[in-house]
Amino acid sequence: MGETVVVAGASGYAGALAARILHRHPHFELAAVTARSDVGVRLDELYPHHRVPLVLEELDLDRHADVDAAIVGYPHAASAPVVAELRRRGVRVVDLSADFRLRDRATYEQWYGEHKAPELFGTGVYGLPERYRAQIADADLVAGPGCFPTAAILGLAPLGGDGLVADVVIDAKSGVSGAGRGANQKTHFVSVDENVAAYKIEGHRHAPEIDQELRAAGAPVTCTFTPHLLPLDQGELLSCYVTTTRRVSQSELEERYAAAYAGEPFIELTDASPGVFDVRETNLCRIKLHSEPRTGKVHVFAAIDNLWKGTSSQAVQSLNLMFCRPETEGIGPTALTPAGVTA
């Protein structure tokens, strides 16, 4: 067995899925699952389909920090102090919250409020392996990207770099699991079914995160970003409409992306329009490019599973890198292996 990992915050969708992946990972050992609610409940009672037969425990740092690594699935702000304590004890962390994603303090505070571990602010490596592979390998603290930024950056970064991008409009469509496990009127079946609407029309906090990473990719824009809630559980499609400073032909587009993503195990460039079902329960991002002759704009469609590549399997992808494992280990071998057997 390899390094031990604890998943803190495993009662939520993201933490539970991380636990499932680690529980079956060929290398890592899932040491414990902790939660702030549902303590004492076996995880496979909450999530039968994940088939993780561990009991949720309260986080006890004296006991649970005796591991090599942790994936922390706490909400924003609640995460920072736990991460800080885990780091003090030498545990390498992949944090799924927004607490260590942003590099500008004022921007963080504007969208999330006061930071609860200011000494660590800005020290996380942005956990998008396709962009920061080397840094992640060396990192002790990885900030798992937001699900929307994951698809946005993977979809748009290859356009950056030479003043090409003038304006970006991102229309995002998300399944309901993106809203988390919290039960409220917005996630009630009757509210979502047979419906679609934009949400957070006044501003979504993933917008500055997308801006930050587009800028880092050489595309310094203030993006338009509006998410919509759809009647499906998992999956996220980003439709990006890019105004460029010069015409980019279809073939140039395709060559540019082929070059940028050569050898990437989790990027699929496709001729067909990508649907979220195509990437369901995978760590893949599936991308379609279109150069629109009527307007000269570049259209990019990027589909991911918000819980997998958008969150939990991507966290394990980082963990693989951090511990010198094959990047695809446990999250997409050569197989779409089928599932579940009783122990």
| Residues 209-248 within binding reach of its own copies (CB under 8 A) | 222-224, 226, 228, 230-235, 237, 239, 241, 243
> With binding defined as CB under 8 A, does residue 28 bind its own copies?
no
**Are the C-beta atoms of 266 and 332 separated by less than 8 Å?**
yes
> With binding defined as CB under 8 A, does residue 326 bind its own copies?
no
Of the residues 53, 90, 163, 203, which one makes contact with its own copies according to CB under 8 A: 203
Query: Which whole-number Å values give the CA distances from 133 to 128, 205, 318, 324, in the listed order?
Result: 7, 25, 8, 11
Residues with catalytic function: 147
Q: How far is the CB of 36 from its own copies (least distance, A)?
A: 16
Of 187, 174, 158, 196, residue with least CA distance to 311: 174
Of the residues 85, 187, 216, 254, which one makes contact with its own copies according to CB under 8 A: 187
Q: Which of residues 46-75 bind its own copies (CB under 8 A)?
A: 48-51
> With binding defined as CB under 8 A, does residue 161 bind its own copies?
no
* Binding-residue total with its own copies (CB under 8 A): 97
**Are the C-beta atoms of 155 and 302 separated by less than 8 Å?**
yes
For residues 88 and 247, which CB has a smaller minimum distance to its own copies in the complex? Answer: 247
Query: Which whole-number Å values give the CA distances from 179 to 75, 125, 182, 227, in the listed order?
Result: 12, 25, 8, 11
Q: How far is the CB of 139 from its own copies (least distance, A)?
A: 22
- Tokens linked to 208: 């500055």
> With binding defined as CB under 8 A, does residue 280 bind its own copies?
yes
Distance in angstroms (rounded) separating the CA atoms of residues 174 and 237: 7
Distance in angstroms (rounded) separating the CA atoms of residues 74 and 62: 19
> With binding defined as CB under 8 A, does residue 205 bind its own copies?
no
Q: How far is the CB of 306 from its own copies (least distance, A)?
A: 11
Residues in the chain: 343
Q: How far is the CB of 90 from its own copies (least distance, A)?
A: 29
> With binding defined as CB under 8 A, does residue 150 bind its own copies?
no
Assign 55 to helix, strand or coil: strand
